[in-house]
Amino acid sequence: MKTILIAGTATSLFVASAFAADLGVPPLVPAPPPPFTWTNCYAGLQAGGGWGEKDLTDTALALAPTISGFTSANLSISGYMLGGQTGCNYQFAPNWVAGIEGSVTGGDIGGSTAVAITQPGAIPGDNATFNSTTDLLMSATGRIGYTWDRWMLYAKGGLGAAWDRYDIPGTFMGVQYDLQGSETRLGWTAGAGVEWAFSNDWSVKLEYDYYGMGQRNVTFVEQFTATPGPENIKQNIQVVTLGVNLHISPWW
């Protein structure tokens, strides 16, 4: 019985197809998938390395002449960063994309350098070491990109922020001191990158960013005497990151 039913169904389909062909009706063809679009929201992870410069001018001497024995220091920093990003894109023309993005990366971009003691009164054995670590970088930026189907070149720029820690131990005139300070610094950031959507939902990107954090005074506190004093620090940081994004269709 089952064999008879299968044979009858196949015969019916053959007759229907032949009848449609006689009438000139084109066969049914599946609709092509919609073209790929960068209009979506996304979130992902990123990892990379960073480097930069920190220039320190010792201004604490005016307030605490017994705990500070140097005038300036120049420090090169480097290290790693791990974090994530989220944002939204809108493809407003065949090849142009605009968007916004926020990112947070944490890690250890730091360094250490010995500082020459140049103040009058220094004695043999006096020393100082400038240590600095950037633990966190944040950004809120706009993006503009040019696309070739699933590839996009983009530029970005906006607000940047960094959280830094500083430590300057040493001795002056034979007296030991340890200046420590920390800050959250606002500045600006600009960068560029390339992104490839290897599926409708996933993409990878390679990006370079520059953080211009300016020059300002940071309050240090001498750990043995609790004496505060300002140190003027100028800094910039550069990072290169490799990231992956999961894309989600927008609500609009």
How far apart are the C-alpha atoms of 157 and 140, rounded to whole Å?
Answer: 8
Pick the closest to residue 76 from 58, 54, 61 (CA basis): 54
How far apart are the C-alpha atoms of 138 and 21, rounded to whole Å?
Answer: 64
Among 58-62, 134-138, 208-212, where is mean pLDDT lowest? Answer: 58-62
Q: How would residue 209 be classed by pLDDT, with cut points 50, 70 and 90?
A: very high
Three-state SS at 18: helix
Sketch the domain layout of the chain as residue ranges.
38-248
> Which run of H or of E encompasses 5?
helix 2-23
The per-residue pLDDT for 85 is 98
Architecture of domain 38-248: Beta Barrel (2.40)
Give the mean model confidence (pLDDT) for residues 62-74.
62
The per-residue pLDDT for 249 is 80
* Percentage of the chain lying above the pLDDT 70 cut: 82
Q: How would residue 116 be classed by pLDDT, with cut points 50, 70 and 90?
A: confident
> pTM for this structure?
0.82
Residues found in the chain: 252
Distances (CA, A) of 206 to 73, 109, 162: 33, 19, 21
Q: Using the predicted structure, report yes or no on whether residue 16 has a pLDDT greater than 60.
A: no
Q: How would residue 11 be classed by pLDDT, with cut points 50, 70 and 90?
A: very low
